[in-house]
A and B are shown apart, each in its own frame.
Chain A
Amino acid sequence: MCLGIPMQVVESDGFTALCERRGEQRRLNMMLVGPQPVGTWLLAIMDHAREVLTPENAQQIDEGVQALEAAMRGETDLESYFADLQLPSALGPPR
């Protein structure tokens, strides 16, 4: 049930990369994705970069993680975090 966290490479030495998400930095093992240039978005699963993400994918996942973090802080308006979801129109918006 572990979350994947999108993180962006800020510094890379090939085997590991210092990555950042919203001010939090973490050093990731790059064995599964190979060396990546600064600015690349990665999906971090625990201490490993599991895959390279497009910026759009990274943003979608990040919005979901932000929504979960907002829920943990007790926020109640979580709809703005899922603006991109394409729900069947017949079902209508949340209520």
Chain B
Amino acid sequence: MTTAIPAEGRVDLHLDWDGARVLAATVRSRRPQPRRLLVGHPPEHARQVIPRLYSLCGDAQAVAVDALLGLLDPAEVGPPESAAWATRIRLETIREHLWRLGLDWARMASVEPQPGPLRELLADRERFSNDERLARDWATQTYQSLFGVDGLPVPERLDGPAFQHWVRAGNSSLAVLLRELRPRLVGLGLSRAKAFASVDLPAFAVDALPRLREDPDFHWCPDWAGQVFEMGPWARRRDLPLLAELEREQGGVDAWVRVVARVLELAGELAALAAGAPARQAIAWHRQGDEAVVALEMARGVLLHWVRLEDGRIGDYRIVAPTEWNFHPRGPAQECLGRLQGTDAPALRDAVNQVVMALDPCVHYELEIVHA
């Protein structure tokens, strides 16, 4: 916790541990804001600087800036809603889920990584955005390699017994991965965090605007009406029958439920892309005078951009990433980590890593364990 924060930002985790269980967990996410790079410049500057810097989720960042600038353009009546935005963010979400499941979780579980579909998506992303047939063929092939030729029942009709059967009996790469992960993740890092529902985006955008103006800590310590929400695939999909069933069984949300939610979201998005179904984007905005805010769902949860113009130039600009919610000092990571048990430090570190991976921060983390 003592090293300097890199430009990429970092999540700091501190655990007080008595040799059997964690007594207290402290979580802090820190990263530089782009404000000082933008203030005094024309709004167009944000469109060029932000996606260039924040390239992990560069499509969502670019869409947020586009929407924000469209909202403040005197020639427009609002941001020009675009099907292209939804297509870009869907491909980016699929990419991030392929990365987490096919590389990161595969490495953690010591199963064969699956970089092929991700490599193809990275290489052909632009073509996929413009060539529906190409994208459909890739999605069909990728779905079959991950979920098997017979696949999963559609997530809206998938229940516990059908999913368990698929995990136990399936030969596809994801079934093999999930068989390895299930015994490690069930019950790990349980929390009862409130999920952010995408339908609340418009109300949230209205309330967030004055908070961003008045609260200098809001971007790294956000809340809505005093409540800290979990963001991401589980929060978006928690009403799916399987996820609701798993949550009821566990009495909360654990690392297993979060991974299953990512798998179901990937299955749904790939199947929709393969079927040629148009992408749907949850996005909301609010303008008040020379200020505007845009909130949209992306791979890790809700991304928020806020700008205040002064004499037609950027007077202030802040971004709130979903990691700031999931790794909030009072957020789901803090609750999950505070419930961990472990009698040796290496095992505790492994458990922390799995809890963190399930919540999927967009930055590295640094862990300090103090034996109380």
Contact = CB atoms under 8 A, between A and B. Distances in A.
Interface in B317-372: 319, 321, 323, 362-364
Contact of B54 (A3, A46, A51, A78): A3
A60 to B, nearest CB: 7
Contacts of B37: 64, 67-68, 71, 78, 82
A91 B44 CA distance: 9
A51 B44 CA distance: 26
Interface string A54-93: 0000001100110111011000001000100111100110
A2 B8 contact: yes
B321 A1 contact: yes
A61 B364 contact: no
B362 A2 contact: yes
B31 A85 contact: no
B122 A32 contact: yes
Contacts of B49: 64, 82, 85
A29 B57 CA distance: 19
B51 to A, nearest CB: 10
A2 B45 contact: no
Contacts, number: 104
B8 A48 contact: no
Interface in B16-41: 31-32, 34, 36-37, 40-41
Interface size class of A (residues with CB under 8 A): 20 to 34
Interface residues of B, number: 39
Contacts of B363: 1-2, 46
B115 A65 contact: no
Given A1-B61, A2-B54, A71-B37, A87 B7 contact: no
Nearest to B119: A32
Interface in A1-44: 1-5, 29, 31-32, 43
B55 interface: yes
Contacts of A69: 7
A94 B8 contact: no
A90 to B, nearest CB: 9
A50 B363 CA distance: 15
SS class, residues of chain A in contact with chain B: mixed
Given A3-B8, A78-B36, A68 B115 contact: no
B364 A71 contact: no
A78 B57 CA distance: 24
A94 B54 contact: no
A45 B362 CA distance: 9
Interface in B89-135: 99, 103, 113, 115, 118-119, 122
A40 to B, nearest CB: 16
B45 A61 contact: no
B213 interface: no
Given A31-B115, A91-B44, A71 B323 contact: no
Nearest to A86: B48
Contacts of A4: 53-56, 58
A86 B49 CA distance: 11
Contacts of A29: 103
B79 interface: no
A69 B54 CA distance: 14
B55 A1 contact: no
19 contacts: A1-B323, A2-B54, A2-B56, A2-B362, A3-B7, A3-B56, A4-B53, A32-B119, A48-B99, A50-B122, A64-B52, A65-B7, A68-B53, A78-B37, A82-B37, A82-B49, A85-B45, A85-B48, A94-B42
Interface of A: 1-5, 29, 31-32, 43, 45-46, 48, 50-51, 60-61, 64-65, 67-69, 71-72, 78, 82, 85-88, 91-92, 94-95
Given A48-B99, A94-B41, 20 more contacts: A1-B362, A2-B362, A2-B363, A3-B53, A5-B7, A31-B103, A31-B113, A46-B363, A46-B364, A48-B103, A50-B122, A61-B52, A64-B37, A64-B52, A82-B45, A82-B48, A86-B48, A87-B45, A88-B44, A94-B42
